[in-house]
Amino acid sequence: MKFVNEENELKISFEAFKKRVLEDYRLAVLSRECSLLGRREVFSGKGKFGIFGDGKELPQLAMNHFFQNGDFRSGYYRDQTLLMAQGLLTVANIFSALYAHLDQSIEPMSGGRQMGGHFSTPFRNDKGEWLDLVNLKNHSGDISPTGSQMPRLLGLAQASKVYREHKTQNSPKFSNEGNEIAWGTIGNASTSEGMFFETINAAGVLQVPMVISIWDDGYGISVSNKDQTTKESISEALQGFQRTDTEKGLEIIRVKGWDYLALIEAYEKAATLARTEHAPVMVHVTELTQPLGHSSSGSHERYKSKERLEWEKAYDCNLKMREWILKEGLAKEAELIKMEEAALKQVRAAKRASWEAYQAPIFKQKAKLLSYLPILKKETYNDPKIQLIFSKLEQVLELGFKDIISAARQIKIVLSKHPNAKLRDFDQWLDALTSDMKNKVSHLYTVSKDELINFKAVKPKYNKDTETVDGRIIIRDNFEALLNKYDSLLFFGEDVGKIGDVNHGLEGLQAKFGELRIADTGIREATIVGQGIGLALRGLRPIAEIQYLDYILYCIQILSDDLATLNYRTLGKQIAPLIIRTRGHRLEGIWHSGSPMGGMIHLLRGIHLLVPRNMTQAAGFYNTLLQIEQPAIVVESLNGYSVKETLPSNLGEFSVPLGQIEIMRSGADITVVSYGSTLRIVEATAQRLTEVGIDIEIIDVQTLIPFDLKEEIRESIAKTNRLLIVDEDVPGGASSYILQQLIEKQAAFSLLDSAPKLLSSKAHRPAYGGDGDYFSKPSVDDVFEAAYSIMNEFDPSQYPL
């Protein structure tokens, strides 16, 4: 038997072996008791939902012996035993998460934002500075959508490969010569997801140190492997990926989940292969059980046969380990019973303490509210509604802050009928508590509005003899400057390497900077994004390319569920400053001219959305983003690469701030707000409008998220009193978002003398060709007529129709 000890020596004494086995058994029992009592807490109404790691304890304990400092995990809600074994999750943490304790120091996994069972460890401190990840066991933040942990896993593993082959100034801070393994875990049923297959294929191509474990308990909630997986076995189905002596691929290992010794051997083999050879490995752990069923939502007796339930009882991995320990004489039964009783006692005590810790601050606030009762009665002349509110509060069974604040808000309404009531202290207390609570569940971004406003942008400089070049040259030469400036910068995507992207914005750069930094990928948008998230989580600065904006739909799920929520769900302890480069808006045809900006705005809050009108602005955004460490999507204008622009001399240096508009033309009559490709159309219309006496002010919003942080569009509307919003999204898309921002946030309604007008594309996809485009997307004629009709409404005699 081999275990890795602290010095990485592979052999240990029998006594040490026995000690470890018994410690593993203790952890298995402790973890199981957490699952059992946790489930009961949900049934007693103290937790809303419970999902636990019961039945998956043993493989995690075996894996733990080979999980070294510097390694990463991208897993899912069954992995509590692994984190407990690593000292990263206490029993109290489990219960605090179940109660949704909003205090991060008590519920460190997500500060009560996620359901229990979703784990993470900090990668950064409170100031946003990196922790010493090479000396920590790192768990990237779990998410609930099944299979979504896979794309990120690819990037976490690829970072080791990058660091082994490409030394950056910061390499030692992030990697020990690329020795780190990315450990993935996934349920058997979730392997049916496309992202799983995409990841497996990409890992085989890239040859990255990934060990992916499949916890196979035969079911995905109620649906068995028969209806989930070809041949009812994912490792059978994937045999073609098995590496051979001559061909690279994946090493596939199959092992029974109740066989402790076999598990140790399997993980030892997997870890050695991955760490030394950077070979991806799949460990298919079969014959696992789910003693409590899938989650607290229902019982598994509904869908498992009697025979299956009996088999699960007999093959429970903890029970099998116990039998094995006794058979091998590693401990006496009395010793095990003592251990089991101690575990139960420990869990019960921690559970009680966690509940008390959760309730104490709530009851403190309730007492505070109660302390106002006498004065409330006095100031409202004993209004019976006050007593009624307090009586109802007394009846609440599982009290939360929300109940106290809700009572106080109702009291405020009663107080509004008594304008002379003096209750400043009550108001201050309620405001402070409300803002404290809101603060606990907010913070979508790590960067503040003030920081963005105060960003010191550098203007592009132009030499006297400056050339005018195709826009794509500015993008390309700026990228070259950035690659020289940032040694951790990497580009990858479809056709990005050899040909330097389909529009040649990276032309010739692979030859200069190598295949690792400018890499072609397969056609696999979800894992291109996942690669980017994982690489960014490990200190690299990826720019992942999605070839056309229309194909962002293939990865919008992972952008939305993973990247956009990362900072929020880990309370800023993990951020991935991934930059997505893509190109969209106007070109030709249904799938090469998309501008689904509204969809993106709504699904991707948490990621900045930048819509440069030309390549100089786009380059400026890349330069900014590399300085501010924020996740962002940059949508370059597809029809802008061959438009001539003046080449700046300070490439890689000039920058465009986020959330700041640019007034491209000042005018007196109508504020025309737009972004991206439609700006060229609006500009082209301005002259025609002047000819009929209409003077438009053109505003480029530049970034949709964040939106006009200084609220400068309001100033323009205050001057013109008229508003036209132009874009090429569907009606009710981004143009409606812009209007909402102006009406709600900038209070522009009272400034308008005419109804605001929104000019967008048609609701159907744009038809191919010039005529198709003309009748699908806004044209100069449409902009002209929209602006003219606004003026007609204002003064029909001067602007007759």
Ligand X SMILES: Cc1ncc(C[n+]2csc(CCOP(=O)(O)OP(=O)(O)O)c2C)c(N)n1
Give CA–CA dist 309/300, Å, rounded: 9
Residue nearer to ligand X on the CB measure, 188 or 521: 188
DSSP character at residue 190: G
The nearest distance, CB 215 to ligand X, in angstroms, is 5
φ/ψ bin of 408: left (φ > 0), alpha (ψ from -120 to 50), beta (otherwise): alpha
- Residues facing residue 644 across a β-bridge: 470
Residue nearer to ligand X on the CB measure, 197 or 707: 197
Residue nearer to ligand X on the CB measure, 53 or 676: 53
The nearest distance, CB 190 to ligand X, in angstroms, is 3
Where helices occur in 372-383 by DSSP H, the ranges are 373-379
The nearest distance, CB 98 to ligand X, in angstroms, is 17
Give CA–CA dist 261/333, Å, rounded: 20
Residue nearer to ligand X on the CB measure, 217 or 403: 217
Pull the structure tokens for residue 536. Answer: 């960014």
φ/ψ bin of 266: left (φ > 0), alpha (ψ from -120 to 50), beta (otherwise): alpha
Summarize the chain as % helix, strand, coil (round to 5): 45, 10, 40
Give CA–CA dist 77/37, Å, rounded: 17
Can you tell me which residue has the tokens 């129709």?
Answer: 801
Give CA–CA dist 472/762, Å, rounded: 29
Residue nearer to ligand X on the CB measure, 214 or 730: 214
Residue nearer to ligand X on the CB measure, 84 or 597: 84
Active site residue 592: yes
The nearest distance, CB 648 to ligand X, in angstroms, is 45
Give CA–CA dist 54/684, Å, rounded: 66
Q: Which of the residues 139, 592, 608, 764 is marked catalytic?
A: 592
Antiparallel, parallel or unpaired: β 223-224 and 251-256 = unpaired
Give CA–CA dist 476/103, Å, rounded: 47
The nearest distance, CB 333 to ligand X, in angstroms, is 31
Residue nearer to ligand X on the CB measure, 215 or 654: 215
Where helices occur in 166-293 by DSSP H, the ranges are 171-174, 194-206, 225-228, 234-237, 260-277
Beta-strand ranges (E) seen in 449-604 are 468-470, 489-493, 518-520, 541-546, 579-584
Instruction: List residues near ligand X by CB under 6 A.
Output: 78, 144-146, 187-190, 215, 217, 219-221, 294
Give CA–CA dist 383/379, Å, rounded: 9
Pull the structure tokens for residue 232. Answer: 């009812």
CB 325 within 8 A of CB 25: yes
Residue nearer to ligand X on the CB measure, 305 or 649: 305
Can you tell me which residue has the tokens 């092992």?
Answer: 255
Closest CA to 228 of 255, 257, 193: 193
CB 421 within 8 A of CB 581: no
Residue nearer to ligand X on the CB measure, 146 or 365: 146
Can you tell me which residue has the tokens 């009572």?
Answer: 407
> Measured between alpha carbons, how far is residue 234 from residues 9, 57, 142, 216, 255 in Å?
34, 21, 23, 9, 13
Q: Is 730 exposed, middle or buried (0-12, 13-18, 19+ CB in 10 A)?
A: buried
Phi then psi for residue 285, to 5 deg, are -95, 110
The nearest distance, CB 30 to ligand X, in angstroms, is 20
The nearest distance, CB 189 to ligand X, in angstroms, is 3
The nearest distance, CB 201 to ligand X, in angstroms, is 19
* Shortest-Cβ-distance residue relative to ligand X: 187
The nearest distance, CB 404 to ligand X, in angstroms, is 33
The nearest distance, CB 258 to ligand X, in angstroms, is 16
Give CA–CA dist 512/540, Å, rounded: 19
Pull the structure tokens for residue 183. Answer: 């450990």
Amino acid at site 36:
L
Give CA–CA dist 620/487, Å, rounded: 19
- Catalytic positions, written as ranges: 592
